Amino acid sequence: MEITVFNIEGKETGRKVNLDDTIFGIEPNDHAIYLDAKQYMANNRQGTHKAKERNEIMGSTRKLKRQKGTGTARFGSIKNPEFRGGGRIFGPRPRFYGFKLNKKVKQLARKSALSYKAKENGIIVLEDFSLEAPKTSQMVKMSANLNIMNKKSLIVLPEQNKNIYLSSRNLQDVEVVTISDLNTYDIMRASTIVLLESTVDVLQSTFEN
């Protein structure tokens, strides 16, 4: 699959790059996408929820009334979960929500997500550029030139670029990631994937390995 390379002014450069069909042209596997996105969201959960149970409540352990002869239910102490201020029955405890997912499934999920975007014409290849200093207005102008304003876009860089990251940090619909941080959840959530020209080769070699 050949795709035209654009510059930051939104004009064609006259060059084209070849997107490998084994990455951008496979039959998407929806279940693999579901599993990878589920794992990503599960790993981001803090899991620090906690409710005090009966043995953690402060209060007397004195028996409130005699065991028999009252005509009502028996109660052992004020910590009884049925009383206001008592311990909670089966309350939440701190836990880790993440789970294991095989590398081949994760790789299939990413390929499937990229293939979906390629079929929807949601991939733009941009020639390599750099910013001398962080400038949000330049990123806004570039988004307007590429017709991705007010659309959720994901810019994928081959390596860390501080100026590009800082320039896009205040833009609600723009997210910048490196290839190592690229994940299925972000790919599927974005309307447009913007790949730098040098990113394509690195991305394809990463999947080959």
Cα–Cα distances in Å, from 105 out to 33, 39, 193? 9, 11, 21
Largest interatomic CA distance in the chain: 94
SS3 67: coil
Contact yes or no for 153/168 (Cβ under 8 A) = no
Cα–Cα distances in Å, from 128 out to 61, 68, 195, 196, 201? 71, 83, 9, 6, 12
pLDDT at site 98: 93
> Mind listing the pLDDT tens digit for each residue in 53-77?
998 999 888 898 899 999 998 888 8
pLDDT at site 74: 87
pLDDT at site 38: 97
pLDDT band of residue 14 (cuts 50, 70, 90) is confident
pLDDT at site 76: 87
pTM, two decimal places: 0.82
Sequence-separated (6 or more) residues with CB below 8 Å from residue 75? 63, 64, 65, 83
Answer yes or no: is pLDDT of 10 > 90.
Answer: no
Supply 81's token pair: 């979960």
pLDDT band of residue 188 (cuts 50, 70, 90) is very high
Above pLDDT 90, what percent of the chain? 59
pLDDT band of residue 30 (cuts 50, 70, 90) is very high
pLDDT at site 60: 87
> Mind listing the pLDDT tens digit for each residue in 172-183?
899 999 998 999
For the chain, the structural domain boundaries read 2-41+102-208, 46-96
pLDDT at site 209: 63
Q: What is the mean pLDDT of residues 3-14?
A: 88
pLDDT band of residue 29 (cuts 50, 70, 90) is very high
Is CATH 3.40.1370.10 what the domain over 2-41+102-208 is classified as, yes or no?
yes
Please provide residue 124's backbone torsions phi and psi, each rounded to the nearest 5 degrees: -120, 130
Average pLDDT of every residue of the chain: 91
pLDDT at site 61: 85
Q: What is the tally of helices (H) and strands (E) in the chain?
A: 7, 6
Q: What is the mean pLDDT of residues 98-107?
A: 94
pLDDT band of residue 136 (cuts 50, 70, 90) is very high
